[in-house]
């Protein structure tokens, strides 16, 4: 079996899905804009420098998920996919994935971005396997 491993952000996407999700939340008025934008940029810069405090970041990233039902989040993510993510998917990325699929390779995305954000993106590529940060769910809600 040949395994084709892909990163998502700045690889299959011409941008960062996690950072863009934060910007999307700001644009929808679902988070306090100035404070959230500053924190989102701070964590994004930490990530780019390779010094991200994953625990602090996870608390920040998961908090907005905990404030909405799964149904509300699904609606938001569908809008996010259409308005933000689809424009970040290049023909070259689709062709690369398809090349590996045609060769019979097992396709997988590995990303530090959480599965709420990434699973629908990975599914849009038709990639069946995802290794991502998993937010905790209790009683049908993110915590």
Over the stretch 25-68, which tens digit does the pLDDT of each residue have? 999 999 999 999 999 999 989 988 999 998 999 999 999 999 99
Name the active-site residue from 9, 53, 91, 139. Answer: 9
pLDDT confidence bin for 132, thresholds 50/70/90: very high
Counting DSSP H helices and E strands in the chain, the numbers are 6, 5
Q: Which residue has the tokens 């599914």?
A: 123
* CB of 24 closer than 8 Å to CB of 80: yes
Whole-model pTM?
Answer: 0.92
pLDDT tens-place string over residues 91-129: 999 999 999 999 999 999 999 899 999 999 999 999 999
> How much is the mean pLDDT over the chain?
96
pLDDT tens-place string over residues 79-89: 999 999 999 99
**Which residues, 6+ apart, have CB-to-CB distance to 116 below 8 Å?**
65, 73, 77, 135, 142
Domains in the chain with CATH codes: 3-142 (3.40.50.1000)
7 assigned to active site: yes
Query: Residue 31 has which token pair?
Result: 């988070």
Asked if pLDDT for residue 1 goes beyond 90, the answer is no
53 assigned to active site: no
């Amino acid at each position: 079996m040949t395994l084709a491993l892909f990163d998502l952000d700045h690889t299959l996407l011409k941008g960062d899905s996690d950072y863009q999700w934060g910007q999307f939340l700001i644009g929808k008025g679902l988070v306090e804009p100035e404070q959230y934008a500053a924190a989102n940029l701070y964590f994004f810069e930490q990530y780019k420098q390779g010094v991200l405090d994953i625990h602090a970041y996870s608390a920040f990233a998961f908090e907005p998920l905990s404030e909405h039902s799964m149904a509300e989040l699904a609606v938001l993510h569908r809008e996010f996919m259409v308005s933000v993510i689809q424009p970040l998917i290049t023909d070259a990325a689709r062709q690369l994935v398809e090349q590996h699929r045609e060769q019979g390779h097992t396709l997988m995305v590995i990303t530090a971005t959480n599965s709420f954000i990434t699973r629908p993106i990975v599914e849009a590529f038709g990639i069946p396997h995802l290794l991502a940060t998993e937010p905790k769910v209790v009683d049908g809600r993110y915590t």
